[in-house]
Structure 1
Amino acid sequence: MMTLSLRLLFAVWLTAVSGRDIRNKQPNIVVVLADDYGFNDIGYHGSQIFTPNLDQLASDGVKLENYYVQPICSPTRSQLMSGRYQIHTGLQHGLINSGQPSALPLDNPTMADKMKEAGYATHMVGKWHLGYFKAEYMPFYRGFDTYYGYLTACENYTSHKRLYPHDGVAYLDLRDNNGPIYNESGHYSTHLFTEKAIHVVQAHDTSKPLFLYLAYQSVHAPLQVPGEYEKKYSHIQDEKRRTYAGMVSAMDEGMGNLTKALKEKGLWDNTILVFSTDNGGETYSGGNNFPLRGRKFTLWEGGLHGVGFVTGGRLPVKGLVNNELIHVSDWFPTLVGLAQGSLNGTKPLDGFDMWDTISRGTPSERTVLLHNIDPLFAKRGVPLYNDTFDTSVRAAVRVGDMKLITGDPGKGIWIPPPGESLDFHIEDDRQKSPEKNVWLFNITADPNEHHDLSDQMPDVVLSLLGYLEQFNETSVPPNWPHFDWRSSPARHGGVYGPWM
């Protein structure tokens, strides 16, 4: 009979072997992207909105507090999927509109392509918004085994229709690999997408690792939510904020249900889950980024300093706050590397592998971050210098602690949650000085952008303009095609889909 000492020794050996096995095993990878989710809209940032599931997931993992996305939808999604700045894919201006023959170029392998190469089962549920004018740009031709969701944006949450901007008629925008889905009217999209993601988990063949990309429509406008979620916030007087808060709660519930499904399937202990917003909150539609300056669409921190965290049973650390500089383009090399995949065949990446930074706290390799250069955005003022980057062009770059903004960054004010007041005076620099087109901030010392240093530190301004000039030399022209009348869903059975 085995003695107690031998049993203990065997248990220690078995634990060590099992630990090595799981460390050498490809992890399941789940990426969840919220839409228009504001910095001040998650519980652990002090929000008035309850997010118990998201808070717990983040507390069990690593909160990313120096994490950046793009100030608008398609560019963030393109960088997540490709690992490349939008200046290198032609998506640096605006977003991909319905009727535009534009998309993430096919010569950029997607994260799903790389996961599939590495032997993963790959699934997407939710909002694509990376182009669909030809069939080859659809998600199931870009690395995903299955797809269920929306191709565009701004859909009604229950009818799954959206207005076509050129005729004002609402058409269906819900499909899977087999075509349009007609029988889900009345099914709230947050619930629908959660249920579809849970079905993917339940049906998963565990002989393969799982890659699941869940891109919620939540909490983008239109502001719609079942009444029971909104009732929780009857104390919020502002109607938009109250509905928005209910929408956040519905998404938070979905995250709890998805996590439960992963655990019930036995996948959680070998899963890494990444949660991110796609841009800052839209303050005109209930979202909030306070104390950050600005909103969605702007180059202020409120537009692009995002909510993000990493969690899951495979994460070797928990309960940490990470303040290293991380960008949405970093997920591509980080997660492909974690999947033991190959980066062969990709164009030069702008992202960095951040796994050691996230899991071990090592310093970030990223010291420079290009927020964007948009030559098609309306210019502001006149160039300050003749021999470097044109300061009238809308752009922003971060180098170390310092952030430079040029051109027109968008409305630069601080917007507290409805019902709360500011303890300082609001003044938009653009209105005070209509020709002003340069701002400089030490984001580490001044994360909320109160103190413009551009007049005090002209040498730093020139240095960062040099970085913008170098980036500009590597950029490709913006892909901003004219509207194509052939795209009308009226010509394609009343459904959004490929037209060329």
Structure 2
Amino acid sequence: MLVLGVLTAVCLCSVVSCTYGRWADKLHASRANEVDKPTSQPHIIFVMVDDQGFRDVGYHGSEIKTPTLDWLAATGVKLENYYVQPLCSPSRSQLMTGRYQIHTGLQHSIIRPTQPNCLPLENITLAQKLKSAGYSTHMVGKWHLGFYKRSCMPTQRGFDTFFGYLLGSGDYYNHYKCDSPGMCGYDLHEGEEAAWEQDRGIYSTHMYTQKAVSILARHNPKRPIFLYLAFQAVHSPLQVPARYLERYKSIPNLHRRKYAAMVSCLDEAMRNLTLALKRYGYYNNMVMVYSSDNGGQPMAGGSNWPLRGSKGTYWEGGIRAVGFVHSPLLVKKGTRCKALMHITDWYPTLVTLAEGTLDEDQNLDGYDVWESISEGRPSPRQDILHNIDPIYTKAKNGSWKAGHGIWNTAVQAALRVGDWKLLTGIPGYSDWIPPQTFSTLLLVNRWHNERVRWDRGKSVWLFNITADPFERVDLSRRYPHIVKKMLLRLLQYDKTAVPCRYPPKDYRSNPQYNGGVWGPWYSDEDEVEDENDNALSNYLGRRRRKKKVKRRGKFKRKA
């Protein structure tokens, strides 16, 4: 009996063991199938280039050869009514938040390396949204959204990995940057640490491309990926391997020649990236966005011809950008999209494509424009607030009188509504500079001697951008009623603005105090104090805005 009992127990154990084994195998197989099942969410590859001028691509008539960019754009959708901001940090902040500068407090200039400032932490970034939608998120290249405390770093703002630099520019080979005499340091990071071991003195365009390709090679293409590749090129300093200069010997201007060579190197990088996307199985379920962060800088080789102005200005040459979308998922390929688009639109567009969620309390300024891009439908966007800068009020002749009692035209501001564009204050350097006419000396031989003389009393401009994209005919005196309407629109936007964040230099930022490396300098105690200060300033700002609304209400009732 004892033997029989033992045999029965052994048999039962065997059955249970076999049953559990089969169940465990099935569970493991189902999980493996889940992992191996191709994603319905598209891979998102966002390529941001630095300071590429509107003309500086082959399909816009440039003498610079860009066969890869031309092919990607020709077989995708060219964005021919696409706007960014005139400087680095503003464009990148609006890409990452889908919000205008007036709504993040970054209305003025750029984030300086010595400022205790960064993209405000209360803003949910594009990377955070995509990560919560199940994406693996990776950033390679330029950050330029602040780093004074650890919580401002890319890996704290939604990116699983970061390899790149934190400042606005630097040496393409040794990655050193001097902000001012005695303020110099190393600026290449892997995650949150200096990337000394990764640095082999490789030209940055090649190095960042190699890093992007290695990320694609390691990742499983059946899981969605967001790769944000923000090239250093073609920002100054003008540095490039000698072999790329050979094809541009005919360009007499040395700055233009180097710049052209840098663009060609960038074009080659885009070819290698595209080949990697195909090789590793991403291409057929991929959306690639290509965008410049602002207009070109003529004194550093760039060209925005025939547009007016340059980087750092609110003329079309500073804010109308090279951009296209390349994807097998596009409904209408090989088209030109003339629908009005702004860099804030990528946030809702890409989050929606990624099957993510958008929260109402985010108060986005961007629109989902995928149907406009993919199917050629009208844009949901009717206007763009290019900016209102409350600090930059240098227009000597600006006044409330010039603004019809509605707006102080000393304030630098720019607004687009439909076909109309309004500028106030000092929009910035305003020449039209054709390629090859600028030299390393002063710009003496201008095609047009049309520089605006600020002492002649001008502080308001109005253009019909659809009819006059080169901003040659100011219509502000002919259509004062349009000017008034647009000034009222500016005023409405200004009522929603948050206080401007532009703190003074903090000498603790000096890399000498941080092992010779640019990086966070706030301690944990500083962070807590900073968060308390921000909470207090946000509370006071809300109270001030409420009081303003109440005062306006009382005034209207009295009237």
**Pairwise TM-score range, normalised by the shorter structure:** over 0.9
1:363 is aligned to 378
Kindly indicate whether the alpha-carbon contact (under 8 Å) linking 2:309 and 2:431 is maintained by their aligned counterparts in 1.
yes
What TM-score results when the alignment is normalised by the length of structure 2?
Answer: 0.83
- Secondary structure at the counterpart of residue 429 of structure 1: coil
Structure 1 residue 168, shift from structure 2 partner: 5.0
Structure 1 residue 297, shift from structure 2 partner: 0.4
Per-residue deviation, residues 224-274 of structure 1 (Å, max 9, x unmatched)? 000001111000000000000010011110000000000001110000000
Moved over 6 A (4+): 420-423
- Secondary structure at the counterpart of residue 272 of structure 2: helix
1:108 aligns with 2:123: yes
Mapped partners of 1:385, 1:211: distance in 2: 45
- Secondary structure at the counterpart of residue 302 of structure 1: helix
Aligned letter for 2:188? L
Question: Larger helix proportion, structure 1 or 2?
Answer: 2
**Pairing 1:307-322 to 2, within 5 Å after superposition:** 307-322=322-337
From 444, 448, 452, the equivalent of 1:425 is 448
Aligned letter for 1:302? G
Mapped partners of 2:461, 2:309: distance in 1: 14
Kindly indicate whether the alpha-carbon contact (under 8 Å) linking 1:64 and 1:323 is maintained by their aligned counterparts in 2.
yes
From 389, 392, 399, the equivalent of 2:417 is 399
From 71, 74, 98, the equivalent of 2:89 is 74
Kindly indicate whether the alpha-carbon contact (under 8 Å) linking 2:155 and 2:192 is maintained by their aligned counterparts in 1.
no
1:414 aligns with 2:425: no
Per-residue deviation, residues 7-40 of structure 1 (Å, max 9, x unmatched)? xxxxxxxxxxxxxx98x81000000000001001
**Pairing 1:480-499 to 2, within 5 Å after superposition:** 480-499=502-521
Structure 1 residue 427, shift from structure 2 partner: 1.2
From 415, 429, 445, the equivalent of 2:467 is 445
From 382, 395, 403, the equivalent of 2:398 is 382
- For structure 2, the 5+ residue unaligned runs are 1-36, 439-443, 523-559
1:13 is aligned to none
1:227 aligns with 2:245: no
2:270 is aligned to 255
- Secondary structure at the counterpart of residue 107 of structure 2: coil
What TM-score results when the alignment is normalised by the length of structure 1?
Answer: 0.93
Aligned letter for 1:321? R
RMSD, matched Cα: 1.6
2:351 is aligned to 336
Mapped partners of 1:425, 1:464: distance in 2: 29
1:457 aligns with 2:479: yes
**Pairing 1:81-100 to 2, within 5 Å after superposition:** 81-100=96-115
Structure 1 residue 471, shift from structure 2 partner: 0.6
2:194 is aligned to 180
- Secondary structure at the counterpart of residue 229 of structure 2: strand
Per-residue deviation, residues 47-100 of structure 1 (Å, max 9, x unmatched)? 010101111000110000000000000000000000000010011100001110
> In the superposition, relative to structure 1, how do residues 127 and 346 fare at CA in structure 2: closer, same or farther (>3 Å)?
farther
Aligned letter for 2:423? I
Structure 1 residue 178, shift from structure 2 partner: 5.3
Mapped partners of 1:105, 1:455: distance in 2: 40
Structure 1 residue 166, shift from structure 2 partner: 4.9
Mapped partners of 1:185, 1:156: distance in 2: 13
Mapped partners of 2:169, 2:128: distance in 1: 27
1:467 is aligned to 489
Q: Sequence identity of aligned pairs in percent?
A: 51
1:138 is aligned to 153
From 476, 480, 491, the equivalent of 2:498 is 476
Higher Cα Rg: structure 1 or 2? Answer: 2
Kindly indicate whether the alpha-carbon contact (under 8 Å) linking 2:221 and 2:281 is maintained by their aligned counterparts in 1.
no
1:9 is aligned to none
From 282, 287, 297, the equivalent of 2:297 is 282
1:160 aligns with 2:183: no
Aligned letter for 1:460? I
Kindly indicate whether the alpha-carbon contact (under 8 Å) linking 2:49 and 2:234 is maintained by their aligned counterparts in 1.
yes
Mapped partners of 2:336, 2:194: distance in 1: 43
Kindly indicate whether the alpha-carbon contact (under 8 Å) linking 1:268 and 1:314 is maintained by their aligned counterparts in 2.
no
Deviates more, 1:132-141 or 1:373-382: 373-382
Aligned letter for 1:458? P
Kindly indicate whether the alpha-carbon contact (under 8 Å) linking 1:373 and 1:472 is maintained by their aligned counterparts in 2.
yes
Per-residue deviation, residues 326-354 of structure 1 (Å, max 9, x unmatched)? 00000000000000001127520000000
Structure 1 residue 419, shift from structure 2 partner: 4.4
- Secondary structure at the counterpart of residue 453 of structure 2: helix
Kindly indicate whether the alpha-carbon contact (under 8 Å) linking 1:68 and 1:304 is maintained by their aligned counterparts in 2.
yes
- Secondary structure at the counterpart of residue 164 of structure 1: strand
Kindly indicate whether the alpha-carbon contact (under 8 Å) linking 1:108 and 1:346 is maintained by their aligned counterparts in 2.
no
